[in-house]
């Protein structure tokens, strides 16, 4: 049993700069990068998946199935210890492996978000665009994707929150994000309690701020097409 | 202008069009009527190949639409289409809706595209609504923007698929007025519509379709006023109550 009286507040205060400047900052960087690049890549994969040309759609389906059908933890190990060292020999910086795994994983989930968004756009939009002489890519680019994008903004926000939490998995290859900082803190102080409670609360603060923001986005963009 | 020969369209087992033959001359206004499900929309959508015909031949302005070598996008520039549910682009203002294809398809500079677009909105009486989004316009206004959007491409033919049937009754008139104006200017038009007044006033020919074939055609006053075929009579008696 542990009572509040024996909490070592001094440890928390001592490590707070490192938790924030190294841990929180790295976690945010990882998340912003993987969801940012994952959005571009995910849009591309969703277009492959929706393509009427079979080889393209197969590539899209296989990609999404692979990254959603295997554990992120396994993907991180796979890129760090197997794939990346095989492509570029030598010791691989874990931050790079971590970023690659998180980005490719995020792209698969975002591709599904975009696919649903694109398919939710009324068929008449594509027909109207095509009837004006636009090509399929033009109709996608100027008519369908802008509407789909607006519709999926809240879902992308939720993906950002999910990725913020899942990025903690790259601590297994020693990327020094927030969870890894907790491990270090715990190893150095020989105390598990203060580090892990603090780390949990820091994650919670971040996800709570973000989910408020997503709720705002849902109010702003969730209601379909009215842009008054 | 439009030649349709032995046009068939099947959706799986469902034979929606079963041999349509039809020739539409330049400046002609043809009104297509028929019961729900008779294939009127499908017929119209085959003309600009929004639906790929199963069999038969369609020639628009000299281009064989069923020939894979034809650049369908190029021909579609010449064939305007107006839909029952308007299908305006909701993320763009009225002006942007009209200007989009001018910029992206006709490759006009933005300023020129916008000036043509604003001219087209003026033509349908909506110059003052240029900066409104579709959601801020009434149904009748949206449909007029949709007509302006199609007209901006300077099409040689206009296809209308029940352009007034999704409108409140008080807005039907404003859309029909724009269409009558077009007809009088000599636009070639194929109009799926049960608006008899419109058909009689500016229509050159009415076509009655049922179960995927043309049952009867002729001068609108004859087809509506003195139908020869029993199926036409029974259809008209239902819509003219
Ligand atoms: N893409 C499609 N796939 C399968 N069936 C279709 C498709 N489009 C149309 N149909 C079917 O083809 C038939 C004819 O449809 P069409 O829309 O051409 O009729 P219509 O004469 O325009 O009727 P309405 O007056 O109701 O608009 C209908 O039974 C319809 O369900
Ligand atoms: Mg129809």
As a whole number, mean pLDDT of residues B20-32 equals 95
Question: pLDDT tens digits for chain A (228 residues)?
Answer: 555 568 889 999 999 999 999 999 999 999 999 999 999 999 999 999 999 999 999 999 999 999 999 999 999 999 999 999 888 887 778 999 999 999 999 999 999 999 999 999 999 999 999 999 999 999 999 999 999 999 999 999 999 999 999 999 999 999 999 999 999 999 999 999 999 999 999 999 999 999 999 999 888 876 544 443
Q: Is the pLDDT of residue B200 over 80?
A: yes
By residue count, chain A amounts to: 228
Radius of gyration of chain B (CA): 18
Report how far residue A170's alpha carbon sits from residue A74's, in angstroms, rounded to the nearest whole number.
11
Residue B203 CA to residue B184 CA, distance in Å, equals 10
Report pLDDT for A222.
Answer: 60
Q: Calculate how far, in angstroms, residue B33's C-alpha sits from the geometric centre of ligand 1.
A: 14
Using an 8 Å CB-CB cutoff, list chain B residues near A147.
89-91
Q: Which ligand is nearest to the CA of B209?
A: 1
Task: Tell me chain A's radius of gyration from C-alpha atoms.
Answer: 21
Distance, in Å, from the CA atom of A46 to the CA atom of A117, rounded to the nearest integer, reads 10
Residues by chain with Cβ below 5 Å of ion ligand 2: B 41
| Structure token pair of residue A99 | 């970023």
Residue A224's pLDDT is what?
45
- The strand pairing partners of B79, in sequence order, are B157
Contact B83 A127 (CB under 8 A): yes
Q: How many CA atoms lie within 13 A of B38 on its CB side?
A: 18
Average pLDDT over residues B172-180: 95
Contact check, Cβ <8 Å, A132/B89: no
- Contact in structure between B160 and B191 (CB atoms under 8 Å): yes
Cβ within 8 Å, pair B101-A134: yes
Could you say which DSSP state residue B38 is in? S
Q: In what order do the strands lie in the sheet with B29-33?
A: B79-82, B157-161, B188-192, B29-33, B205-210, B213-218
The backbone torsions φ and ψ at residue A165, rounded to the nearest 5 degrees and listed phi first, read -75, -45
> Residue B241's pLDDT is what?
60
ipTM, 2 dp: 0.93
d(CA B223, CA A11): 93
Residue A17: Cβ within 10 Å count: 9
Report the distance separating Cα B170 and Cα A191, nearest Å. 77
Nearest CA to ligand 1 atom 13: B37
Average pLDDT on B122-132 reads: 95
Considering only CB atoms, which chain A residues are within 8 Å of B85? Answer: 124
Residue A217's pLDDT is what?
86
- Which residues form ligand 1's pocket by a CB distance below 6 Å? B 11, 14, 16, 34, 36-42
d(CA B211, CA B238): 17
Element holding A148 (H helix, E strand): helix A145-166
- B100 contacts B92 by C-beta, under 8 angstroms: yes
Measure the CA angle with vertex B177, ends B174 and B178; round to 5°. 95
Give me the pLDDT at residue A227, please: 41
For residue B63 the two structure tokens come to: 């281009």
Asked if residues B200 and B221 have their Cβ atoms less than 8 Å apart, the reply is yes
Smallest-distance ligand from the CA of B45: 1
Q: Does B74 touch chain A (CB under 8 A)?
A: yes
Tokens found for residue A158? 């939720």
Cβ atoms of residues B48 and B76 within 8 Å:
yes
What number of residues does chain B have?
241
**Angle at A127 (CA atoms; ends A125, A131), nearest 5 degrees:** 120
Strands B2-11 and B79-82 come out as unpaired
The CA distance from B183 to B70, in Å, is 28
DSSP per position, B83-115: -TT----TTS-HHHHHHHHHHHTS---HHHHHH
Residues of B in contact with A129 (CB under 8 A): 89, 101
Report the alpha-carbon distance of residue B122 to residue B81 in Å, rounded.
19
Contact of B63 with chain A, judged by CB distance below 8 Å, is answered with: no
- pLDDT, chain B, mean: 94
Closest ligand 1 atom, CA of B42? Answer: 18
């Amino acid at each position: 049993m542990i009572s509040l009286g024996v909490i070592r507040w001094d440890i928390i205060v001592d490590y707070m700069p490192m938790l924030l400047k190294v841990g929180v900052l790295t976690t945010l960087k990882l998340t912003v990068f993987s969801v940012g690049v994952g959005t571009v890549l995910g849009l591309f994969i969703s277009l492959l998946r929706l393509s009427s040309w079979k080889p393209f759609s197969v590539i899209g389906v296989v990609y999404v199935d692979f990254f959603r059908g295997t554990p992120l933890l396994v993907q991180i190990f796979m890129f760090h210890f197997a794939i990346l060292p095989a492509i570029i020999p030598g010791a691989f910086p874990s931050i790079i492996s971590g970023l690659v795994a998180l980005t490719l994983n995020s792209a698969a989930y975002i591709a599904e978000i975009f696919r649903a968004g694109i398919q939710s756009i009324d068929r008449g939009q594509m027909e109207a665009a095509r009837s004006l002489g636009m090509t399929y890519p033009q109709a996608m680019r100027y008519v369908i994707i802008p509407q789909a994008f607006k519709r999926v903004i809240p879902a992308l926000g939720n993906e950002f929150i999910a990725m913020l939490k899942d990025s903690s998995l790259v601590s297994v290859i020693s990327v020094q994000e927030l969870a890894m900082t907790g491990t270090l803190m715990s190893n150095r102080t020989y105390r598990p309690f203060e580090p892990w409670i603090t780390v949990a609360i820091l994650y919670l603060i971040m996800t709570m701020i973000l989910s408020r923001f997503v709720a705002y986005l849902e109010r702003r963009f969730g209601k379909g097409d009215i842009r008054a | 202008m439009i030649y349709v020969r032995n046009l068939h369209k099947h959706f799986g087992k469902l034979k929606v069009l079963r041999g349509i033959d039809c020739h539409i001359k330049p400046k002609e206004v043809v009104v297509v009527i028929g019961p729900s499900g008779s294939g009127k929309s499908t017929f119209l959508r085959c003309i600009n190949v929004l639906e790929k015909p199963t069999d038969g031949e369609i020639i628009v302005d000299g281009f064989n639409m069923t020939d894979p070598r034809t650049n369908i996008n190029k021909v579609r520039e010449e064939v305007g289409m107006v839909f029952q549910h308007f299908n305006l682009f909701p993320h763009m203002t009225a002006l942007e809706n009209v200007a989009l294809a001018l910029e992206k398809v006709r490759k006009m500079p933005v300023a020129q595209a916008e000036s043509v677009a604003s001219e087209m909105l003026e033509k349908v009486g909506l110059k003052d609504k240029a900066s409104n989004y579709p959601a801020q316009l009434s149904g009748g206004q949206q449909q007029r923007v949709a007509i302006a959007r199609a007209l901006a491409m300077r099409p040689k033919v206009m296809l209308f698929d029940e352009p007034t049937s999704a409108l409140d009754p008080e807005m039907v008139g404003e859309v029909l007025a724009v269409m009558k104006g077009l007809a009088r200017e000599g636009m070639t038009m194929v109009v799926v519509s049960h608006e008899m007044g419109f058909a009689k006033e500016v229509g050159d020919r009415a076509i009655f379709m049922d179960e995927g074939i043309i049952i009867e055609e002729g001068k609108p006053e004859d087809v509506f006023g003195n139908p020869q075929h029993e199926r036409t009579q029974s259809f008209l008696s239902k819509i003219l109550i």
